[in-house]
Chains A and B, each alone.
Chain A
Amino acid sequence: MLERSPVPDQLELLRTRYPQPESAQLAEIVYGILSTLNGDLTARDAALLSEVEELAATMSRARAEISALRADDINQSHIPSATDELDAIVAHTATATDSILECCERLDTVAAAASPEHAQVLRDVTTAIYEACSFQDITGQRITKVVGTLKAIEEKVAHILDVFAGHGGGGDPPPPPPVEGDGLLNGPQLPGSAAAMGQSDIDALLASFD
Chain B
Amino acid sequence: MAIDKSINVLIVDDYKTMLRIIRNLLKQIEFDNVEEANDGTEALTKLRAGNFGLVISDWNMAPMTGLELLQEVRKDSRLKTLPFIMITAESKTENVVAAKQAGVSNYIVKPFNAETLRDKIEKVMGHA
Asked if A196 and B91 sit within 8 Å, CB to CB, the answer is: yes
| B60 CB-CB contact with A under 8 Å | yes
Stretch at the interface among B2-10, B47-55, B76-84, B105-113: B105-113
CB <8 Å contact, B15 and A187:
no
| Chain A residues closer than 8 Å to B116, beta-carbon distance | 199
Partner of B110, one of A180, A182, A188, A209: A188
Q: Which residues of A contact B1 (CB under 8 A)?
A: none
A130: chain B residues at CB < 8 Å are 21, 24-25, 28, 114
Q: Name the B residues within 8 Å of A184 (CB-CB).
A: 59, 67, 90, 92, 94-95, 98
Would B111 and A134 count as touching, CB distance under 8 A? yes
A-B contact pairs, 16 of them (CB 8 A): A98-B17, A130-B21, A134-B21, A136-B17, A137-B15, A141-B60, A185-B60, A187-B89, A188-B91, A195-B91, A197-B91, A198-B91, A199-B108, A199-B109, A206-B100, A209-B100
Hey, which chain A residues are within 8 Å of B75, CB to CB?
A: none
Q: Which of A41-49, A51-59, A101-109, A164-172 contacts B (4 or more CB under 8 A)?
A: A101-109
User: Which residues in A have some Cβ–Cβ distance to B below 8 Å?
Assistant: 94, 97-98, 101, 104-105, 108, 123, 126-127, 130-131, 133-138, 140-141, 180-182, 184-189, 195-199, 202, 205-206, 209
Contact A202 B60 (CB under 8 A): no
Chain B contact residues (Cβ within 8 angstroms of A): what range? 35 or more
Check B92 against A197 for contact (C-beta < 8 Å): yes
**Minimum CB–CB distance for A11 against chain B, Å:** 48
**B91 to A138, Cβ gap below 8 A?**
no
Asked whether A197 and B96 contact (CB < 8 A) given A130-B25, A182-B68, A189-B91, the answer is yes
Query: Contact at B17–A101, with CB atoms within 8 Å?
Result: yes
